[in-house]
Structures are given as structure tokens and as C-alpha cells.
């Protein structure tokens, strides 16, 4: 199935010539991730639960419970099921987060095949950061830093005085702002975090437009 696999890339300028797949998709075919998901769904259909108790993304699995024994039971069920088909839950990549804002006593111990798992204070899932204390300040910090990384990638364009402001605004709204506000619909912001996002959002357009704080012209961005 994977012998001499090749693929093409379709772009606005047309379709590229065929080339072999040798890096990244180590199985050799662009179908491999899709086939893996189909197999995983078939193998674990009877132990999967609705979100948020069980969330899957490729080979990443999040198991959520209202108590330590509940999480332990779900983890053990997944371990046994995967063991029967020759798959393993990676002990080095598995950790647990104890949310101490939900009235659950702790600390507790979660084990995988009898070995205790490390405890983490925050957990990243699909780009969002869940903290053990229920706060979002670390996620806000990460989103702001990621926004500045995107800013630096396009600085040569959006800080070019020859580029029309309207085009700069489109670049900012399509490239930078979505990165900063990713997942913000789920944030329960405190005033200090809201202010940090606002400061970052105002500083970038000021630099883009060549306006200083002394100009007091915030409403035009």
C-alpha cells in the first residue's frame, strides 16, 4: 500500500509536479493519519465517552473525571484495551492535572501499570492552556507572546511606510489578531488580564501606523 507513494500540492497558481513522500509522514502515505484515526475509533468505540470526559486528537487522549478513582478507572480501561492490540500508552508522555478549584481533595496519585504518573500544574490541549487553579493568566501570556512572534514574522511588511494602512490592517486582522485571541471565547478574564491583552493589541497597531502614545489617537485603529 505504501510502496512508491507520491503526492501533489494544489495551489492558487496550479498543481505542483508529483513528488515522493519521505519526511514527516513516516508511514509513507498521506492516508496514514486518517487510517490511524479510523482504527483507533474502531478499537475504542465502546470505551469512549462524550466530551469533556474523553477527548481525542490523533494519538493524543484526554481523560477527565470528577475524582481520582474515576480518572484511574478510565486510564486503566484505555491501557488494557490498547494492550490487547499491541499498542502502548506512553508513560513518559502521560501526566495528570489535579484541578484544585473543583472541591476535590488532593493531592492524589494516578498510576499507569503500577507506576505513578507525574503531576503537572497546567495542560495544553489544542493550543489552549488549562491551569490547575482555574486561572487563565498563563494562557493569556502564551497567546500574547505567540502574537508577537507572528508580528515579528510580518514586521517587514506591516511596518513598511510604503504599504497602505488599509492593507496593513488586513494583514494584522488576518495574521496576528486571530493568534492573540485564539480560545478567548472560553476565557474568564480578570481585569488585569484584559488590560494586558488590550495593551498588546494597541501597541502593535501603533507601531504599524507609526503613532506614539502621546498622539492619543487610539480610536482610529
Query: 49 by DSSP, 3-state: which?
Result: coil
Which of 131, 150, 185 is a domain's end point?
Answer: 131
Give percent above pLDDT 90 in the chain.
Answer: 25
Looking at the 3D structure of the chain, how many domains does it have? Answer: 3
| Last residue of one domain, picked from the residues 106, 131, 156 | 131
**Same domain, yes or no: 126 and 211:** no
Q: Which residues pair with 120 in a beta bridge?
A: 97
Residues 107 and 142 in one domain: no
Residues 125 and 144 in one domain: no
Is 0.75 topped by the overall pTM?
A: no
Question: Does 180 lie in the same domain as 122?
Answer: no
Which of 69, 103, 131 delimits the end of a domain? Answer: 131
* 208 and 180 in a common domain: yes
* pLDDT at position 163 over 90: no
Q: Which residue has the higher pLDDT, 137 or 6?
A: 137
Residues 105 and 177 in one domain: no
What does DSSP say about strands 128-131 and 6-7: parallel, antiparallel, or unpaired? Answer: unpaired
**Same domain for 127 and 142?**
no
Q: Are residues 89 and 151 in the same domain?
A: no
42 and 112 both lie in a single domain:
yes
Residue (of 217, 147, 213) closest to 184 by Cα position? 147
What backbone phi and psi angles, to 5 degrees, belong to 75? Answer: -65, -40
Domain span at residue 10 reads 1-29
Least confident of 8-12, 49-53, 62-66, 108-112: 8-12
Instruction: Note the Cα 206 to chain centre separation in Å.
Output: 29
Amino acid at each position: 500500500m505504501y510502496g512508491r507513494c507520491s503526492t501533489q500540492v494544489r495551489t492558487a497558481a496550479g498543481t505542483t509536479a508529483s513528488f515522493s513522500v519521505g519526511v514527516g509522514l513516516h508511514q509513507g502515505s498521506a492516508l496514514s493519519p486518517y487510517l490511524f484515526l479510523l482504527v483507533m475509533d474502531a478499537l475504542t468505540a465502546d470505551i469512549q465517552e462524550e466530551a469533556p470526559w474523553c477527548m481525542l486528537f490523533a494519538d493524543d487522549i484526554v481523560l477527565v473525571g470528577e475524582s481520582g478513582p474515576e480518572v484511574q478507572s478510565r486510564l486503566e480501561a484505555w491501557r488494557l484495551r490498547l494492550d490487547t492490540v499491541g499498542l502502548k500508552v506512553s508513560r513518559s508522555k502521560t501526566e495528570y492535572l489535579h484541578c484544585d478549584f473543583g472541591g476535590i481533595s488532593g493531592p492524589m496519585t494516578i498510576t499507569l501499570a503500577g507506576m505513578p504518573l507525574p503531576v503537572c500544574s497546567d495542560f495544553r490541549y489544542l493550543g489552549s492552556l488549562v491551569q490547575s487553579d482555574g486561572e487563565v493568566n498563563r494562557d493569556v501570556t502564551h497567546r500574547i507572546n505567540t502574537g508577537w512572534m507572528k508580528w515579528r514574522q510580518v514586521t517587514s511588511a506591516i511596518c513598511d511606510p510604503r504599504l497602505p494602512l488599509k492593507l496593513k490592517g488586513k494583514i494584522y486582522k488576518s495574521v496576528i489578531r486571530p493568534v492573540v485571541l485564539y480560545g478567548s471565547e472560553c476565557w474568564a478574564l480578570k481585569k488585569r488580564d484584559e488590560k494586558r491583552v488590550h495593551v498588546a493589541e494597541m501597541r502593535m497597531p501603533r507601531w504599524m501606523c507609526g503613532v506614539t502614545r502621546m498622539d492619543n489617537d487610539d480610536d482610529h485603529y
